[in-house]
Structure 1
């Protein structure tokens, strides 16, 4: 269970993001101390993340420290593995203290029955090539072999392939993931909220059956995020405060609110 209010952001791609984006993200994370009930990092926080046994990417230090501070304050932090930062391990889980989760997560988020995925590889036709190579990239033997490379060389190699991955992103304005979210809500009437990232397309939309699809967009492009409490889901833009500028919001429908009393 992720307590209310839950803040959600995605796709910061630190390492290639402009310096001001990283400064804004640090300020945002620090503002959540005392304000957030929980936090979800929905993938691709870093443009490249990998853990050697005693080495980690240098650019990660300040952001990971801010996440560790939230955990020290007792704020649950769920980090969903993205396609750029799926190789998380002991540093994230033990030293930072986050719940690093690979694959879909389903549970109660701020009172909503929710399914969260980063969103990579979900489109049936467009993502076939990526789905074919993903098991190879994440196989333990591939991870073991990559760990044998010197971190400087390995990081340069990975950042080169990451650039290609971003250039070949979804490219459909988020329509494909919206369709998958609505299909997911239709198949499981108990679901109230589906959250994706990955598409870099900010969305907040209600399906025909009443369930909601939410995507915070990419922090890399614009510092936007979601705030979810028991009554509403809001898309906010960072303005120096965790309350942010409200861009769009959806209330929980009256009949749904009654069901949860």
Structure 2
């Protein structure tokens, strides 16, 4: 179980995010011990991440250090891997102390029965071609072959090939993932909170028997979700260090 208050961040895309966006993230993570008791990252913290045996990408090293500081302060971090940072979960866990998973996570966040998934590949029809590609990209043989590439060349190749999957918002406005989440919330044994990333569309709505949420893309709008025992809120972090409430829903009973 993750304790509340819990902050949920999504799709930061360090490596293509602006320097200002990274500064806001660092400020937010460093201030977390006074504001929340747990943190969830909904995937794609990096625009590209790969764990070579003896080197690691330099992008975002201060963010990783800030996450490690949270672990030192016994603030749990759950990291749901995305389609941009799926190669290197073991290394990321070792360096930050976060719990990292590429699988959907079902569990309690305070009193919330929650189902979390990044969202890539979840749409039954639209994502079928991507699911086939994903099975190749995440195959152990493919990962082993990629590890032989020089990190500079491999990073340039990854950034060049991933432009379409990070560009702006989902073409369907997030409707496809919201439909997937609503179906889970409508089932009798389903969760009461479903959270996705990936679409880059900030969302907080009642659906099925609970609430569907998406933190959006930090690198685009610096929004995040805040879960308390009795409510879910969509928040925005500003450049001067202040935050503002965008919308709020009471926890369904």
TM range (shorter): over 0.9
Give how far 1:243 is off.
Answer: 7.5
SS of residue matched to 2:235: strand
Partner of residue 104, structure 2: 104
Q: Are 1:201 and 2:201 an aligned pair?
A: yes
TM-score of the two chains, using structure 1 as the length reference: 0.93
Partner of 1:172: 172
Per-residue Cα deviation, 1:197-234 (whole angstroms, up to 9, x for no partner)? 1000011011143x100101100111000000110000
Partner of 2:13: 13
Q: Secondary structure at the match of 2:248?
A: strand
Q: Is 2:230 aligned against 1:231?
A: yes
Length-normalised TM-score, structure 2: 0.96
Evaluate the alpha carbon distance shift between residue 104 and residue 188 of structure 1 in structure 2; reply closer, same or farther with a 3 A threshold.
Answer: farther
Deviations 1:77-123 (A, max 9, x none): 00101000011233211121111111100000121000000000111
Q: What is the CA distance between 1:156 and its match in structure 2?
A: 0.5
Question: Is the 1:49–1:86 contact (alpha carbons within 8 Å) kept by the matching residues of 2?
Answer: yes
Gaps of 5+ in 2: none
- Tell me, what secondary structure is at the counterpart of 1:30? helix
Distance in 2 separating the partners of 1:139 and 1:208: 35
- Secondary structure at the counterpart of residue 120 of structure 1: coil
What secondary structure, in the 3-state scheme, does the structure 1 residue paired with 2:170 have? coil
Which residue matches 1:259?
none
Structure 1 unaligned runs (5+)?
257-261
Residue-by-residue CA offset, 1:240-261 (whole Å, 9 max, x unaligned)? 69872000000123xx1xxxxx
TM superposition shift of 1:124:
1.1
Whole-angstrom distance in 2 between the partners of 1:41 and 1:12: 9
Contact kept in structure 1, 2:80 and 2:101, CA below 8 Å = yes
Alignment CA distance shift 1:109-1:167 (3 Å): same
- TM-superposed CA distance for 1:49, in Å, is 0.5
* Residues 106, 113 of structure 1: 8 Å contact kept: yes
Q: Distance in 2 between matches of 1:221 and 1:80?
A: 19
Preserved contact between residue 28 and residue 241 of structure 1 (Cα < 8 Å): no
Pair 1:118-2:118 in alignment: yes
Give the Cα separation in 2 of the matches to 1:89 and 1:199: 22
Q: Provide the rounded CA distance (Å) in 2 between the counterparts of 1:39 and 1:241.
A: 22
Shift of 1:167: 4.0
Mapping of 1:131-146 within 5 angstroms?
Answer: 131-146=131-146
Q: What SS class does the counterpart of residue 134 from structure 2 fall into?
A: helix
Structure 1 counterpart of 2:3: 3
Contact 2:203 2:213 in 1 (8 A): yes
After TM superposition, the structure 1 = structure 2 runs for residues 75-94 of structure 1, keeping only pairs within 5 Å, are 75-94=75-94
**Count of aligned residue pairs for this structure pair:** 253
Secondary structure of 2:114's match?
A: strand
1:212 aligns with 2:184: no
Partner of residue 244, structure 1: 243
Say which SS state the counterpart of residue 238 (structure 2) adopts: coil
d(CA) in 1 for partners of 2:16 and 2:78? Answer: 23
* Conserved 8 A contact 2:235-2:247: yes
- The RMSD of aligned alpha carbons is 1.6
Distance 1:54 1:133 in 2: 27
